[in-house]
Structure 1
Amino acid sequence: MRKLFWLAGALCVSLQVTFAQSQRYPIIPYPQELQAKPGVFAITPATKLVLPEDPSPFVTETEQLQLLLTQALGKPLPTVAKASKGTIVMRQNPALAGEEDYTLDVSTGQILMTAKTPTGFFRAIQTLRQLMPPSIEDARAADLKLISIPAMQLKDHPVYGWRGMHLDVSRHFFSVNYLKKFIDLLALYKMNKLHLHLTDDQGWRIEIKKYPLLTSQGAWREFNNQDSVCMQKAVDNPDMAIDTAHIIHKDGKTLYGGFYTQEQMKDIIRYAAARHVEIIPEIDMPGHMMAAIRAYPFLACSGEIGWGKSFSTPICPCNESTFAFAEDIFTEIAALFPSKYIHLGADEVEKTSWAASPLCAEVMKANNLKTVEELQSYFVKRMEKFFNSKGKTLIGWDEILEGGISPTAVLMYWRSWVPDAPVKAAQHGNQVIMTPGNPLYFDGTPDRNAIYNVYHFQPIPKGLTAGEAKHIMGAQANIWTEYIPSEKRADYMFMPRMTALAEVLWTNRNHYDDYLQRLNEQYKRLDLLGVHYRLPDLDGFTEDNVFVDKGVLDVKKPLTDMTIRYTTNGTIPDEHAKALPAHYTITSPETIKLAAFSPAGNRGDIYTLRYRKEAYRKATVVKDARPGLKLDYYNGVFKSAAKIKEQSDSSMRVNNAIIPEGMGKGGGAFGARIQGYINVPVTGIYSFYLTVDDGGILYIDDQEVVNNDGWHAPFQKSGQVALEKGWHPVKLAFVEGGGGYTLKLEYSVNGSKLQPVPDSWFGAGR
């Protein structure tokens, strides 16, 4: 027993030390090597700066460091020639291996910062910045007299060279200022690539001087069905409102849109380059080109504009005028963007118009092409040769594998339901960037599992040898903006998820609990930077709650300085709503809306909690139950879990609420019903949490407990039920729309910790 107490005490001390170190060194991404030391170095207005022996390559980085210190101290540091006590020393170190490598040696008497390149110094400065108090981010704050930097020895370098974010500016448009803010956040967390999706069916966003109609017409649209969805959601969430800055009135029409002139884009590129972020342009073709075809109808095989079976009409790869158009565009793009990469897109191409075209039949015959997939490959390979002539490397979405891929193209993997795509590409010798939809599509609404899922993402796919794995350049997260109509909503969707990805790609070690502690230290900084991030999840309730005699709402605050406000009249809580008391008692059915607010006024998720009174549901007598549950499989497409057909195609037993591997082979759609009994060990209020992709409904005692129906990305919903100890009928209806599925069932009882439902609780009749 003494040994047990000793172990518990040792664990408690260990956790306290880890927490203290997370507060002292709240760096994201965490460095490869950090040796903590006692004491601090005090930066004051009297501190002096020692520049590298040859300062000329590092002028920009020196200015950035001085700007940071000026904002904190009120004036730049004086520079001196020699290192001594009380100095910050920047020293070039050619012996460091990588372009981004750096070291920081902080003692009570000096800070020594070394790097081989300007990029390395910039990364070191961002680490130093995160060690400074968040108040330095506020240019209006009073000048500090002293900044304490904790002593340490630090050696750092990234594991992956491609650490990226993607932003779709076509579906919804974002200002120049927002792109700069976005770049600043990438730089702060050592991300180094910004993939700009500049064109799509919904809008053309970059000026092309040879084809002015692309922006004078193609950059503007009347409100579409995606805008309508956003407007409807804006009733309950102001962040979903269409940004009025991008709305104009012309010729009696209300139009949405915008574009970047080439001069504006040059300014953005310069801004990013100074922060060591490379911008990769994407001009998506041959599909997703409706905005261009509307302006220049000759681009389509038949001149038609619209939608085929699945996607929009593509441009015609069988007409030389199409290639002339594309080459003209990419000539301007290649001259504008200094990146060695250009993204061609080449995904989701509707090929029915090609199959019906007599001209395409001639081109396919002349080039010995057997399928329209090979015709797409013909287009991609011709464009790649043109890119190469401009000194550029082609990137394409993973559909470029279909019909054959050249050995020099870079593949961007996104279709998680085609898991062998990155493996085939790497084995073929192609470079690969990982962007699988789950978990790296940040347009999927985040839930309590979102950060965990990103942090535990493994960039190297299964099935590669160590040599083949070297073809994985890194990864990026993608933000598609069909349903992201404002800058605040964009902030919410990618922050703080991006910080988890930053640590995966830079550090590539699992420090998850420590990461969460360091993330908590980042929120004040994000507040001062004006980031409308998603606040941490609140706990202590579900969407649908029950009570027997009375209920108590006891919300666990993840951040001590947040305020939780609530309403009971159906209105959305704002900064003037009442603060939720520590223990809010419910004695009759009611609906509560609540939201957390940061000290800066950033509002978190709006939770709607419905409370109803019910008695404990009586247990059922079940004799000779076999372990597990019965799963009925239904082949086909079902938009709703409530509308799965009656006759199953096959049945099997499963141990839990799981979908066995191999169902929906090839990423196909299907439905499933999992049913039997659940044996709860004690009488109590049970909370069930259902995470699904695409849709699912949980029933207990033939009554709906959690409704997470409809096609959507992985998302968790929850509900409560009052259960008497013993057996209760349980059923889970699940639908998968194609593209890879998620199904996870968790529970808590009487407010306990969230955990998976044990296999031993389930049983089925014989």
Structure 2
Amino acid sequence: MSFCLVKRVFLMLTAGLICHASWAQATKYPIIPYPTTLVEKEGQFTITVKTNLSLAKNAASFVNEANQLKAIIKNATGITLSSQKSKGGSGILFQQDPGINNPEGYRLAITPELVTITAKTPTGMFRATQTLRQLLPVKAISSQSVTIPAVEIKDEPMYTWRGMHLDVSRHFFSVEYLKKYIDLLALYKMNKLHLHLTDDQGWRIEIKKYPKLTEQGAWRTFNNQDSTCMKRAKDNPDFEIDTKHIVQKDGKTMYGGFYTQQQMKDIIAFAAARHIEIIPEIDMPGHMMAAIKAYPYLSCSGNTGWGKDFSTPICPCNEATYQFAQDVYTEIIDLFPSEYIHLGADEVEKTSWAQADVCKELMQKEGIKNVNELQSYFVHRMEKFFHSKGKKLIGWDEILEGGINPSAIVMYWRSWVPQAPIKAAKNGNQVIMTPGTPLYFDSPPDKNSIYNVYHFQVVPKGLTDIEGKAIIGAQANIWTEYIPSEKRADYMFMPRMTALSEVLWTHKDLYESYQSRLIQHYDRLETMGVHYRIPDLTGFTGENVFTDQAVLTVQKPLQELSIRYTTDGTLPQVTSPVLPSSLTIKTPSTIKVAAFTQSGSRGDIYTLSYKQETYAEPASVANPVQGLQCTYYPEYFLNTIQIKTKNAAGTSVVKTVVVPQEATAGSFGLTYRGYLNIPETGVYSFYLTCDDGGILRIAGREVVNNDGQHSAIEKSGQVALKKGLQPIEIDFIEGGGGYALKLQYSLGNEAPKDIPASWLVQPQNK
């Protein structure tokens, strides 16, 4: 074990974040996802230049996996395994066992004399090689020999669909990056890559029959998403748009790119060698602006643009549309060997269909009652075509709205429609779980993200054990409107994906052990060139206050990180001063802090504001009663300030800071009013998690500003309070798509915890 790792683990142990038993096993077997069963054994196996790798007589089908393991060991250690048994040498043996039930299952037995890997299929054998890959040292200390611990493992996955998604339409990614992405999926035993190849912002796959799809549809001038990224890049270079995908075309600066069919064949072969299935998505009938601009006849009116909510879709009432769709999918089906084709069929702006005469005629002819059924008509026709080609259709959960066949596979994403996966399962459809919370990895991560992913419940409540078998797995999605670079993509999904891999493969709550094992993967990710999200720095809040002075003591999650800071408003750089172990603040100031890895990669930048306050005097309230007044505004708000402009629909009393049952509208605002019964004088920290936005005020002072439309993120602040009743105000907005609201507090160096119900009071109504 490296000296850096010793220091890192010692820090975690002394902080009480892991127990000694958990650390000991995690250090010896840092495997993610954790195997189904693992039995520790004494001793270790030594790999040397004399070690040979051989295949049993019944294991000839494992040649590809044997060669890959040789490459893994060569890259990790510099040692080239022999295919011939040498005198005095050790051995690695591949053998087949048809009796292993799961096609991805394997057995791994490591003794001081021999490594035996047993599998039924090449897929199972490959999964075993990735376990060995994680047991190898990240960096070889010696090129003469390396050791791996003795162990006996029996392993197989819980779920058959363990997926990751990548949107290459909004922002484009190189062939090289896709291979890097696939290799990371393989390392953590994921087995599906859902590739979102087309959308309004770009068409990314060559279709030979329709060349304008890439000649025109693959390129765009900078849009509002690009401009947002450019603005954010001023504070974070990860948001810089990759110049590899910017060209000068017809006198204009254009962004884009596409994969030729030959390039895609190369990517597919790379993934197949790692037993990862690539599922292509050509999103239709909506999200087709890039195609309609190239071929205007595809829309009902011959025009394209934006409707009330989404872009104008292709027309499901013209036969030319079906000819186009079948031509496109024929080339896609010929290209991708996957048994699945993803149709998309989400977020369709159906108003143009309701207005089109050709659709009115078709609906009357076919007995179609509404535009939702019209979408189902399109989906049914495409599914019939897919079946004729031997493929299965996948669609986003909107395909349920007008009725679907049980043979279609539903990908559930709308977390605000919790009945959708239950409805699909009861209809006989297989379901893949991809709810926005917590599996949209384009949502900015915070300190709670890994915990939330790890504790995701794959099978929703409301299904019987038999119905639950319809849930075949889950995947995380990465939509790239605001992910313009490969570094930003790395940051968004690593290490979150490691938590998902364990949820789907191991399906046991081993979170403490997982945290211990994850610590040891950061060096591996660093060596692989992954721009992962550095774990959160702690010991402060975003908005800090002091009465006399404050002391900033940053707690590092990884010992080898260097913490650097600035006080002049500039961003911390690798050349900025190192933050001392404790920094005393006596005057109002703003400090920017960031962690840097040994390679110079920078983590999140924390802007810490310090202001001086006196302790707020308590209020005098006669005979207070428990609870806060919660007022409900069923309207759409961009921010909490707008709540004041609307009339309330009702008021209720809540005993904790929760969204009341009365708040049933898709979008709404809430205000909470009352008092906090503060038990002792001090500087209190408060942590407000909102989806979408919220503001916390205590004693008339703004403590946390987490306002605006955004996904669930936590922001924090401090306030100096005297013992007694202190007025509290919380304003909260929900813009649609599922809400989150949580308020916690801490005093001194204690960990954040929920506010006791006994603290929340209000004046007694007369």
TM-score (structure 1 length as normaliser): 0.96
Structure 1 residue 81: deviation in Å? 6.6
> How far apart in 2 are the matches of 1:22 and 1:333?
44
Deviations 1:433-463 (A, max 9, x none): 0000000000000011111110000110111
Question: Would you say the 8 A contact 1:283–1:343 is kept in 2?
Answer: yes
Structure 1 residue 38: deviation in Å? 2.4
Question: Would you say the 8 A contact 1:201–1:291 is kept in 2?
Answer: yes
1:650 aligns with 650
Structure 1 residue 346: deviation in Å? 0.3
> How far apart in 2 are the matches of 1:602 and 1:625?
53
Deviations 1:152-199 (A, max 9, x none): 111100000000000000000000000000000000000000000000
Given candidates 44, 47, 61, the residue that maps to 2:48 is: 44
Structure 1 residue 304: deviation in Å? 1.3
1:518 aligns with 517
Whichever residue aligns with residue 122 of structure 1, its letter is: F
Distance 1:73 1:483, change over 3 A: closer
Question: Would you say the 8 A contact 2:50–2:86 is kept in 1?
Answer: no
Structure 1 residue 621: deviation in Å? 2.1
Secondary structure at the residue paired with 2:283? coil
**Which structure 2 residues correspond to residues 111-510 of structure 1 after superposition, within 5 A?**
111-135=115-139, 144-510=143-509
Distance 1:433 1:82, change over 3 A: farther
> How far apart in 2 are the matches of 1:72 and 1:189?
17
Secondary structure at the residue paired with 2:248? strand
> How far apart in 1 are the matches of 2:383 and 2:86?
52
Given candidates 15, 20, 27, the residue that maps to 1:16 is: 20
Given candidates 656, 675, 678, the residue that maps to 2:676 is: 678
Deviations 1:357-412 (A, max 9, x none): 11100100111000000000000000000111111100000000011101110000
1:3 aligns with none
> How far apart in 2 are the matches of 1:456 and 1:678?
31
2:33 aligns with 29
2:699 aligns with 701
Distance 1:662 1:340, change over 3 A: farther
Question: Would you say the 8 A contact 2:51–2:85 is kept in 1?
Answer: no
2:664 aligns with 664
Whichever residue aligns with residue 108 of structure 1, its letter is: P
Given candidates 690, 693, 697, the residue that maps to 1:692 is: 690
> How far apart in 2 are the matches of 1:447 and 1:104?
36
Structure 1 residue 623: deviation in Å? 2.3
Secondary structure at the residue paired with 2:173? coil
> How far apart in 2 are the matches of 1:259 and 1:22?
43
Question: Would you say the 8 A contact 1:412–1:434 is kept in 2?
Answer: yes
Q: Give the CA RMSD over aligned residues.
A: 1.7
Structure 1 residue 75: deviation in Å? 3.7
Question: Would you say the 8 A contact 1:72–1:143 is kept in 2?
Answer: no
**Which structure 2 residues correspond to residues 44-63 of structure 1 after superposition, within 5 A?**
44-63=48-67
Whichever residue aligns with residue 42 of structure 1, its letter is: T
Whichever residue aligns with residue 342 of structure 2, its letter is: H
Whichever residue aligns with residue 529 of structure 1, its letter is: M
Structure 1 residue 146: deviation in Å? 2.1
Percent identity at matched positions? 61
Question: Would you say the 8 A contact 1:45–1:73 is kept in 2?
Answer: no
1:540 aligns with 539
Whichever residue aligns with residue 202 of structure 2, its letter is: G
Structure 1 residue 50: deviation in Å? 2.4
Deviations 1:210-252 (A, max 9, x none): 0000000000000001101000000000000111110001111
> How far apart in 2 are the matches of 1:76 and 1:94?
30
Structure 1 residue 622: deviation in Å? 2.4
> How far apart in 2 are the matches of 1:184 and 1:733?
45
> How far apart in 2 are the matches of 1:255 and 1:547?
51
Structure 1 residue 543: deviation in Å? 1.0
Residue correspondences, number? 750
Deviations 1:64-122 (A, max 9, x none): 11111222343421224799982222111111111110111112222111111111111
Distance 1:14 1:210, change over 3 A: closer
Question: Would you say the 8 A contact 1:71–1:143 is kept in 2?
Answer: no
Whichever residue aligns with residue 434 of structure 2, its letter is: T
Question: Would you say the 8 A contact 2:59–2:95 is kept in 1?
Answer: no
Whichever residue aligns with residue 504 of structure 2, its letter is: L
Whichever residue aligns with residue 22 of structure 1, its letter is: A
TM-score (structure 2 length as normaliser): 0.96
User: Which blocks of at least 5 consecutive residues in structure 1 are unaligned?
Assistant: 1-8, 137-141
Secondary structure at the residue paired with 1:605? strand
User: Which blocks of at least 5 consecutive residues in structure 2 are unaligned?
Assistant: 1-12
- 522-531 or 652-661, which moves further after superposition? 652-661
Structure 1 residue 150: deviation in Å? 1.2
> How far apart in 2 are the matches of 1:12 and 1:315?
58
> How far apart in 2 are the matches of 1:432 and 1:82?
51
Distance 1:583 1:12, change over 3 A: closer
Deviations 1:278-329 (A, max 9, x none): 0000000000000000000000100111011110000000000000000000
Structure 1 residue 22: deviation in Å? 1.0
Question: Would you say the 8 A contact 1:287–1:315 is kept in 2?
Answer: yes
Deviations 1:415-446 (A, max 9, x none): 01111111011011001000000000000000
1:745 aligns with 743
Secondary structure at the residue paired with 1:369? coil
1:139 aligns with none
Given candidates 77, 80, 84, the residue that maps to 1:76 is: 80
Secondary structure at the residue paired with 1:79? coil
> How far apart in 2 are the matches of 1:688 and 1:710?
19
Deviations 1:488-537 (A, max 9, x none): 00000000000000000000111111111111110000000000000001
Structure 1 residue 725: deviation in Å? 1.4
Question: Would you say the 8 A contact 1:625–1:763 is kept in 2?
Answer: yes
Whichever residue aligns with residue 117 of structure 1, its letter is: T
Question: Would you say the 8 A contact 1:239–1:488 is kept in 2?
Answer: yes
Secondary structure at the residue paired with 1:644? helix
Distance 1:662 1:157, change over 3 A: farther
> How far apart in 2 are the matches of 1:13 and 1:475?
29
Deviations 1:130-157 (A, max 9, x none): 1111115xxxxx7522222111111100
Whichever residue aligns with residue 651 of structure 2, its letter is: S
